[in-house]
Every structure is written in C-alpha cells, then in structure tokens.
Amino acid sequence: MQIYINGTFYSKNDAKISVFDHGLLYGDGVFEGIRVYSGKVFRLKEHLDRLYESARYIMLNVPLDHKKMTEAVIETVKKNKLADAYIRLIVTRGTGGLGLDPFKCEAAQVIIIVDKIQLYPEAMYEHGLEIISSSILRTPESSFSPRVKSLNYLNNIMAKIEAVHAGVPESLMFNADGFVVECTGDNIFAVSNNEIFTPPTSTGILEGITRDCVIDIARNLGYTVSEKLLTRHDLYTADELFLTGTAAEVIPVVLLDKRPIGNGKPGAITLGLVKAFKELTKREGLPAL
Ligand code: PMP
C-alpha cells in the first residue's frame, strides 16, 4: 500500500504524521470517502467540491487546487493498482501547539489512502439490515454545520455505540424538533405508496453524494422523489426503507426498532435502485487505471 502525504508516497508502516497535528489534537480538519469502481473514480468532482466547501466553512486553506488534488487522487489510485477501492482523502489543519488556535498551525496536510472496503456483509444487501433509533440528536446547524464532513465524528460515533450495544449495524439520528435526519454514516430514504421521500438538508443531514445520485436515478426511472420532513411515524409505517452512502452504497433496511418495515423484506423499489446504482457505477467515473 502506498499512502500519499503532502506529495510523497510512503508504505503503510512509514506513513506517519506529527502528534501535534490539530487533526489529531482537536479533530480539526475535513475529509472525503470516495469510491473507485472498475478503475474509475466515481463522482470525484462532487466529492472535491464538498471537500473544498467543508474546508471553507472551517477556514482551512487546502494547499492544492481542484486540478492538483484531482491529479494527486488519480496518482494515488494508480500507485495502489486497485480497480475497486475506497479512497480516504484527508486534509488536516497541520502541526501546531497545545492550544486551539488554528491560525497558529503550520501548513495544512493532505493525506490520501486507497484501500479495500466492505462496510456491511454482502448478505445484508440482499436481505436488508436492522437499525435502531438513536437517543443521540444530530449536531444542530446552530452548533456546527452538519453539512461539513469534518474529522470530528463523535456525534455520530455516540450513536454508532448505541447501535453496537443493541447488536445492530446502524442507528438512526433525529434532530431536536423530532424529525428524522440520517444514520451515522448514511442518508435515509423511505418509500410510501410508490413515492420516495428523504429528509431535506435543513434537518441537519450531510448532503450525501450517493443521495443525490439515487435521487437522479429514481427520477429517471419515473418515480416521484421529494425532500420532506419525516417523523418516526413516517418510517414505522413506510413500505420500504433504504440507506445511501459512499461506503454503504444503497442498502435496504428491513427492521427499525425491531418493527418490520413493510413486509419485513427488501422492497421492489429499493432492490431496483440497488441494481440501477450498481449499473451506474460501472458506466461512470474518471479513469484512473
Ligand atoms: N451522512 C453522514 C453522516 C456521512 O458520514 C455520510 C458519508 N459516509 C453520508 C451521510 C453519505 O454521504 P455520501 O453519499 O457522500 O458518502
């Protein structure tokens, strides 16, 4: 494995950063998770746009421009020779002192890792997964924009711990108004009466690139897709539920808080979208190999 750190490649054992990096000391930085399918990087432009927007929100100067970052990502994929992979692109605040002030840090650091990923067992894509409602509310916009993909995931990690303790792979987070937001690393969709619904950005979601992709796919297939405020009631009574995310892709949810969704089996619309998404990932992408 060859890991990119600020323009130089290191083996896994030699890829190290300073313990004074504020990415480590304070979770000060941003990142992206990106997929490579059949040697092509999927939706790289969209991921980089979100990375630069996240960086701008936290006033972090990314040392590479869009074009140079694209080249760095492609070069790292080439070095690792993986046709199907997951790219973790990280920009940390850089090395500083033992104090919060981000402006006292030296240059931001860019790290790119390319590796394999399998978030959930293959069988769950066919049979669906079980989730629970988390008691942890998603960070509100008034505290920190949930649209920023930052290195501080403790809000989501607290909800993930609840899932693990309950013996399920994911948990669903709500906001302070009681509306459905998203799972710890995925966006959520509900299907009711052949219409597809997903919470709007204003609820506090990370605007998923897979979410956008699936909305387009579903509309092209002729479904009505609406961004709508959803409550627990809407999900308990939905015909189908599914999650979307770069790592998770599109995956059916069949149990929520031990309650079967629809008939307790992945629904036809969800399975159609799982298939259509797979096909799209084969067709699209920026060639890297
Ligand atoms: N919500 C959260 C909190 C996430 O971390 C992610 C990404 N893992 C998503 C949603 C899905 O976003 P994307 O489809 O861009 O990966």
Tell me how far the alpha carbon of residue 211 lies from the centroid of ligand 1, in angstroms.
Answer: 8
Residue 97 is encoded by which pair of tokens? 């002192």
* pTM assigned to the model: 0.97
Long-range contacts of range 275-281, CB-CB < 8 Å, 24 or more positions apart?
Answer: 276/217, 276/221, 277/210, 277/213, 277/214, 277/217, 277/249, 277/250, 278/249, 280/213, 280/217, 281/35, 281/37, 281/38, 281/42, 281/249
Counting residues of the chain whose pLDDT is more than 90, the rounded percentage is 99
Residue 3 is encoded by which pair of tokens? 């890991």
DSSP state of 5: E
Does residue 182's CB lie within 6 angstroms of at least one atom of ligand 1? yes
Tally of CB atoms within 10 A around 137? 17
3 strand-pairing partners: 10
149 catalytic residue (yes or no)? yes
Task: Report yes or no: 53 and 91 within 8 Å, Cβ to Cβ.
Answer: no
285 dihedral zone (left: phi>0; alpha: psi -120 to 50; beta): left
To test the pocket of ligand 1, the residue of 117, 151, 209, 246 to mutate (highest count of ligand atoms within 8 Å of its CB) is: 246
Name the H helices within 222-267: 232-236
Q: Where are the domains of the chain?
A: 2-115, 122-283
d(CA 270, CA 257): 20
Task: Report yes or no: 112 and 48 within 8 Å, Cβ to Cβ.
Answer: no
19-34 average pLDDT score: 98
Tell me how far the alpha carbon of residue 249 lies from the centroid of ligand 1, in angstroms.
Answer: 10
- Tens of pLDDT, residue by residue over 77-88, are 999 999 999 999
Does residue 119 register a pLDDT over 90?
Answer: no
275-280 average pLDDT score: 97
- Ranking 21-30, 55-64, 119-128, 258-267 by mean pLDDT, the lowest is 119-128
With a CB cutoff of 8 Å and minimum separation 6, the contacts of 177 are: none
Tell me how far the alpha carbon of residue 98 lies from the centroid of ligand 1, in angstroms.
Answer: 31
Q: State the burial class of residue 168 (Cβ atoms within 10 Å of its Cβ: 0-12, 13-18, 19+).
A: middle
Dihedral of CA atoms 136, 139, 140, 146 in degrees, nearest 10, equals -140
Which of the four pLDDT bands, split at 50, 70 and 90, describes residue 108? very high
Does residue 29 register a pLDDT over 90?
Answer: yes
Write down the pLDDT at residue 259: 98
- Choices 2.40.430.10, 3.30.360.10, 3.20.10.10, 1.10.580.10: CATH for 122-283: 3.20.10.10
Nearest alpha carbon, ligand 1 atom 13: 208
Does residue 200's CB lie within 6 angstroms of at least one atom of ligand 1? no
- Tens of pLDDT, residue by residue over 209-265, are 999 999 999 999 999 999 999 999 999 999 999 999 999 999 999 999 999 999 999
CATH 3.30.1050.10 fits 2-115, yes or no: no
Residue 7 is encoded by which pair of tokens? 């323009």
Does residue 186's CB lie within 6 angstroms of at least one atom of ligand 1? yes
Does residue 245's CB lie within 6 angstroms of at least one atom of ligand 1? yes
Ligand 1, closest atom to CA 50?
A: 15
Which of the four pLDDT bands, split at 50, 70 and 90, describes residue 98? very high
